[in-house]
Amino acid sequence: MDIRNKLHSVRSLRFGARLSRERAADELLRASRGMSRREARNLGGTGWCPLTEHALRYGRERDAGAELSRRADALWADAAPLVRLLSDEPSRRVVALYYGSAMSREEVSDRMRISEAEVAKMLREAVKRLTSWEVGEC
């Protein structure tokens, strides 16, 4: 897999992990909202236990988020040495924040105190340099 695809895969896996963690938090909130202890533990004999039902969904989403995070970390570990070879610190930070942390360009520009256009330009140039190094042109 080339560096461009690795970076895009890391970013999409980070988004997936974030989404799974948000879904897990929602399930945990649903399991505990607006009911008495008796209702939550199903002591009334209705056969439906809200905590158990939501706990299963919570566990699935939590585990899916953890797996996606592990896969993203493994891909980032492969891509990070090349990213560290970039000569200027701002480019390294922009690539790490945008791809490694899956921040939006707006968030990166706020964090680095530069314009979004500058972030986009730095990303394009950095990815171009990274792909040229991988191919062996430089």
Reported as a single tens digit per residue, the pLDDT across 60-82 is: 999 999 999 999 999 999 999 99
Distance CA 101, CA 14 (A): 7
Is 90 exceeded by the pLDDT of residue 40? no
**Mean pLDDT score, 30-57:** 67
pLDDT in tens, 88-116: 999 999 999 999 999 999 999 999 999 99
Distance CA 45, CA 26 (A): 26
> Over the chain, what HEC string results?
CCHHHHHHHHHHHHHHHHHHHHHHHHHHHHHHCCCCHHHHHCCCCCCCCHHHHHHHHHHHHHHHHHHHHHHHHHHHHHHHHHHHCCCCHHHHHHHHHHHHCCCCHHHHHHHHCCCHHHHHHHHHHHHHHHHHHHHCCC
The answer to whether the beta carbons of residues 61 and 21 sit under 8 Å apart is yes
Distance CA 92, CA 88 (A): 7
Task: Supply the pLDDT for residue 45.
Answer: 57
Task: Supply the pLDDT for residue 135.
Answer: 56
Amino acid present at 121: K
Is 90 exceeded by the pLDDT of residue 127? yes
